[in-house]
A and B are shown apart, each in its own frame.
Chain A
Amino acid sequence: MEKRVTFNERWLPYLLLGPQMIITLVFFFWPSGQAIYQSVLIEDAFGGNSKFVWFENFAQLFRDNSYAHSAQITVVFSFLVAAIGLGISLLLAVMADRVIRGATAYKTFLVWPYAVAPAVAGVLWGFLFNPSVGILAWMLQGIGIEFNYVVNGNQALLLVVIAAVWNQISYNFLFFLAGLQSIPKSLIEAAAIDGAGPGRRFWDIVFPLLSPVGFFLLVVNIIYAFFGTFGVVDSLTKGGPGKSTEILVFKVFNDGFRGQDLGGSSAQSVILMVVVIALTFVQFRFIERRVHY
C-alpha cells in the first residue's frame, strides 16, 4: 500500500530517517557484521592476533558434543514451553470466553504476569521450589517426592519450563481470547440448533477457526523460548546443574563472556541469526496468508 498524496522535499526525509538509521547502523549492522566476521576467525589466547580459518569454527561446533547437547535441550525446552503454555492458555481462554459475568475482572487477573521481568519470574519460582525454604518443595516432600532443582538436571529443566510458561501465559491468553471473540456467534448458534453439544461445537467449529491464531502463537512461543528466556535461565539455574539447562542463547553468552571464546560464540550467534530469520520468515508468510482468509 502506498500513499497517493506525498510531499516533495529533497533533504527532509533523510533528516527524519537519520536518527533511526544511525542507531541501526551503529548498534545493529556493525555488531551483526562483526559477529559474521569473527565467526570465521580464531583469536589466539593472548588476543591481538587472529587468523582467518574459513568455517573451522562452525565445523568445530558441529563436532562438539556440548553444542549438540545444548541444541537438543533447546528443542525439548521450546517444545515443552510452547505445548504447555498454549494448552493452559487455550483452556483458560475458552473458559473465560464462556462466562459472561466477571469476564473483564478475570482478564485483568490473568494479564499481569506479562509485566513481570523474566529474571524476576525466575527468582519467584526459584523461591517456591527452593530446597530448604520453598513451600512447594516442602509440599512435594510431604507426598514423598524429593524435589531439588539445584542438583537434579531434569527437575531444573522442568522448573525453567514452568517459570517461562507462567511468564508467557497472559500473552497467549489474550490472543486466544481475541480469536475466540472474533468467531461469529451465528455459527455457534446454528450448530447448537442442529443439536451439537458444547464439546462437539468446540472441536468442529471453534478449534479449526482458532487454528490460525494457534499457529501464530506457536511460532511466537518458539521464538520466545529460544531467545526470550535468558533471564529465567540465568536467575534460576545459570545453565546448570552440569549443563542440563544450558539453552543455545545462554551458551552464546556463556562461551563469549565467561569462556572468552569469541570465534566459537560468534559462530553460534550466526547460527542463531539464521534460526530467527527462518522463524520470522515463517511467521510473515503465515500472516500474509491470514489476510486472505
Chain B
Amino acid sequence: MVENRPFLTLLSHFVVLLGVVIIAFPVWMTFVASTHSQQTMLQSPIPVLPGPHLIENYAKVLTEGYGKVGSTPVMMTLTNSMIMALGVAIGKIAISIISAFAIVYFRFPGRMFFFWAIFVTLMLPVEVRIVPTYGVVASLGMLDSYSGLIIPLIASATATFLFRQFFLSVPDELTEAARVDGASPMRFFWDILLPMSRTSIAALFVIQFIYGWNQYLWPLLITTKESYYTVVMTVSRQANVVDGVPSWNLLMAMAMLAMLPPVLVVVFMQRQFVRGLVETEK
C-alpha cells in the first residue's frame, strides 16, 4: 500500500474476516447439524458445535439414503451427478473445440451462418425454454436416461467462443510451418492446437463441471426413475417432504455430500477456476 495506516489495515482484516465468517456460517451449521442425532436436532435451540454422530449419519445416507421407504442411497445419486457433470463438461469441450477449429481455420460457404447460429444460443438459458425442450426430449424417448440428462445441456456457445478466442491468438507461423511440412488439418489439430489449448481446456472443465453438477431443474423434470436422480435434486426434494418434519441430521449430511465435490474442485483448482470464470465472460 501507498502509506502505512495500521488502523485501516486492521479494519480491512476485520471486515474481510467478518465476511468470511458470515459466508461460511450456513455451511458450518449444515456440518454441525449433520453430526448430531435426530433427537438433538428437534430441540430448540439447536447446537452450534459438532456432535458425535458424524460417521453414523454419513454412513447411513451413503448406503441407505434418507431413511424413508424407497429412498435412494446417496452413493447412487452421487454417481449419477458425477456422470452428468463429467458428461456435460467433456461433451461441451469436445464438440465446441472442433467447431471452433472449423470456424477459425477453414473458409467455407455458410461459415458466418454457422457462426451466428451458434452465437444466438448464447442468449437463451435452458430455464427460459424449458417446457418445449422437455417436449422435444420426451418425443425423442430420452427421458430417464443419461443421454437425456447430458446432451441437451451441451449445446452452448460459451465454450466455442472461448476456444475461438484462443485459436485467434495462436500465431499464424505455426499453421504455415505445419502446412509447409505437409501436415493435414487434423494432424495440426491433434499435434499442435490441442496441446496448446491445455490451459483453456482445464479452465473450461472446472466451470462446466460445476455447471453440470449443480443442474437442478433439468434433472428434476426428465427423471422419474430413482436410479437416475442426481444428488442436488434429491436434497431439495427431501427438504420439501410433504409429510412433516425432515430428519435434519440426515438431510444436512446429504447437503454436505452434494456440496463437497464442486467445492473441492474450486478450492483445489482455484487458478483454473478464476481463469475460466473470467475468460468465459469475454
Residues of chain A at the chain B interface (Cβ within 8 Å): 1, 3-10, 12-14, 16-17, 19-21, 23-24, 26-32, 34-35, 38, 88, 91-92, 95-96, 98-100, 102, 106-128, 132-133, 135, 138, 166, 169, 171, 174-175, 178, 185, 188-189, 192, 198, 216, 220, 227-228, 230-231, 234-235, 238, 249, 252-253, 256-257, 262, 265-266, 269, 272-273, 276-277, 280, 287
B51 at the interface (CB under 8 A from A): no
User: Which of B131, B236, B259 sits near A253, CB closer than 8 Å?
Assistant: B131
B106, A9: Cβ atoms under 8 Å? yes
**Chain B interface mostly:** helix
A7-B185, A20-B99, A98-B1 known; A34 vs B135 contact (CB < 8 Å): yes
Complex formed: what's the CA distance from A102 to B48 in Å? Answer: 27
B248 at the interface (CB under 8 A from A): yes
User: Could you say which residues of chain B place their CB within 8 Å of the CB of A122?
Assistant: 236, 239
A265, B131: Cβ atoms under 8 Å? yes
Max count, chain B CB within 10 A of own CB: residue among A29, A124, A262: A124
A133, B106: Cβ atoms under 8 Å? no
A128-B29, A178-B278, A234-B236 known; A185 vs B127 contact (CB < 8 Å): no
User: Could you say which residues of chain B place their CB within 8 Å of the CB of A24?
Assistant: 117-118, 121, 155
User: Could you say which residues of chain A place their CB within 8 Å of the CB of B253?
Assistant: none
B194 at the interface (CB under 8 A from A): no
B56-64, B196-204, B214-222 - the one binding chain A = B214-222
19 A-B residue pairings within 8 Å (CB atoms): A6-B175, A7-B188, A16-B106, A19-B95, A30-B132, A35-B129, A35-B131, A98-B9, A109-B24, A117-B213, A117-B262, A124-B255, A138-B45, A174-B274, A189-B2, A234-B217, A252-B127, A257-B131, A276-B124
A31, B136: Cβ atoms under 8 Å? yes
Complex formed: what's the CA distance from A277 to B120 in Å? Answer: 9
User: Which of A123, A262, A287 sits near B236, CB closer than 8 Å?
Assistant: A123
Complex formed: what's the CA distance from A92 to B30 in Å? Answer: 24
A19-B98, A120-B255 known; A6 vs B114 contact (CB < 8 Å): no
B192 at the interface (CB under 8 A from A): no
A120, B259: Cβ atoms under 8 Å? yes
A106, B252: Cβ atoms under 8 Å? no
A115, B259: Cβ atoms under 8 Å? yes
Q: A3-B175, A119-B216, A276-B123 are in contact. List 17 more A-B contacts (CB 8 A).
A: A3-B168, A12-B185, A13-B102, A16-B99, A20-B99, A35-B129, A111-B267, A111-B270, A111-B274, A112-B267, A115-B266, A116-B259, A123-B236, A127-B29, A189-B2, A273-B129, A276-B125
**0/1 string, B255-278, CB within 8 A of A gives 1:** 100110011011100100110011
User: Could you say which residues of chain A place their CB within 8 Å of the CB of B5?
Assistant: 198
B95, A20: Cβ atoms under 8 Å? yes
User: Which of B45, B131, B235 sits near A266, CB closer than 8 Å?
Assistant: B131
Complex formed: what's the CA distance from A222 to B41 in Å? Answer: 37
B210, A27: Cβ atoms under 8 Å? no
A280, B122: Cβ atoms under 8 Å? yes
Complex A-B, nearest 9 residue pairs according to Cβ-Cβ distance, in ascending order: A117-B214, A235-B236, A31-B132, A256-B131, A16-B102, A115-B262, A13-B106, A231-B216, A34-B132
B162 at the interface (CB under 8 A from A): no
Complex formed: what's the CA distance from A126 to B29 in Å? Answer: 12
- Minimum CB–CB distance from B77 to chain A (whole Å) comes to 13
User: Which of A102, A106, A128, A265 sits near B26, CB closer than 8 Å?
Assistant: A128
A133, B248: Cβ atoms under 8 Å? yes
User: Could you say which residues of chain A place their CB within 8 Å of the CB of B19?
Assistant: 88, 91-92, 95, 110
B71 at the interface (CB under 8 A from A): no
Complex formed: what's the CA distance from A18 to B127 in Å? Answer: 25
A95-B15, A120-B232 known; A5 vs B175 contact (CB < 8 Å): yes
A32-B132, A230-B127, A273-B124 known; A23 vs B20 contact (CB < 8 Å): no
User: Could you say which residues of chain B place their CB within 8 Å of the CB of A8?
Assistant: 106-107
- Minimum CB–CB distance from A67 to chain B (whole Å) comes to 16
- Minimum CB–CB distance from A161 to chain B (whole Å) comes to 15
B54 at the interface (CB under 8 A from A): no
B132, A269: Cβ atoms under 8 Å? yes
User: Which of B33, B236, B282 sits near A231, CB closer than 8 Å?
Assistant: B236
- Minimum CB–CB distance from B163 to chain A (whole Å) comes to 11
User: Could you say which residues of chain A place their CB within 8 Å of the CB of B23?
Assistant: 109-110, 113, 166, 169
A5-B176, A108-B267, A249-B128 known; A135 vs B118 contact (CB < 8 Å): no
A26, B16: Cβ atoms under 8 Å? no
Complex formed: what's the CA distance from A259 to B24 in Å? Answer: 38
A13-B102, A110-B20, A111-B274 known; A198 vs B8 contact (CB < 8 Å): yes
